[in-house]
Amino acid sequence: MAVKTFQASLLAVQMEAGCPVVVVGKELDRRGLLTMHDLLTRLLAARHSEIVIDFSHTAHVHYLTGDVVKSKADRCRRIGGFLQVRGANPWISSLLAFGGTVIQEQPLVAARS
């Protein structure tokens, strides 16, 4: 599993089974959230309809993270894919759920391998 494709302040993209995994660092501030929004937009423009966001190493996110994740998840669903969130702590899960994001319990990427 090579880390490649994109590197920006708090974000990195890894490919797992042909699916991009956006790995979020310890904190996702406003600037990091804007970077994540742009990154997800680029991935969708590059025809990636199945995307994972990994919050395993994340302690804090900007309060608008739920809105960004939900809008990108809706876009993935409209084009026949998915956006999966994994590794979110209870606080981040609650924030994402408040924004309307459904947290997947089963890793969808692992099921595809």
Q: Indicate the SS3 state at residue 36.
A: helix
Report the C-alpha gap between 90 and 107 in whole angstroms: 17
Report the C-alpha gap between 44 and 95 in whole angstroms: 23
Residues 6 or more apart whose Cβ sits within 8 Å of residue 46:
none
- What's the CATH superfamily of 25-112? STAS domain (3.30.750.24)
Contact of 52 with 16, CB cutoff 8 Å: yes
pLDDT at 37: 95
Report pLDDT digits (tens) over 44-61: 999 999 999 999 999 999
Q: Mean pLDDT over residues 12-28, rounded?
A: 91
Residue 112: burial class (beta carbons within 10 Å; 0-12, 13-18, 19+) = exposed
Q: Which of 2-6, 13-17, 24-28, 40-44 has the lowest mean pLDDT?
A: 2-6
pTM, two decimals, is 0.81
Which of 34, 19, 26 has its CA nearest to residue 67?
A: 34
Report pLDDT digits (tens) over 70-110: 999 999 999 999 999 998 899 898 888 876 666 665 555 54
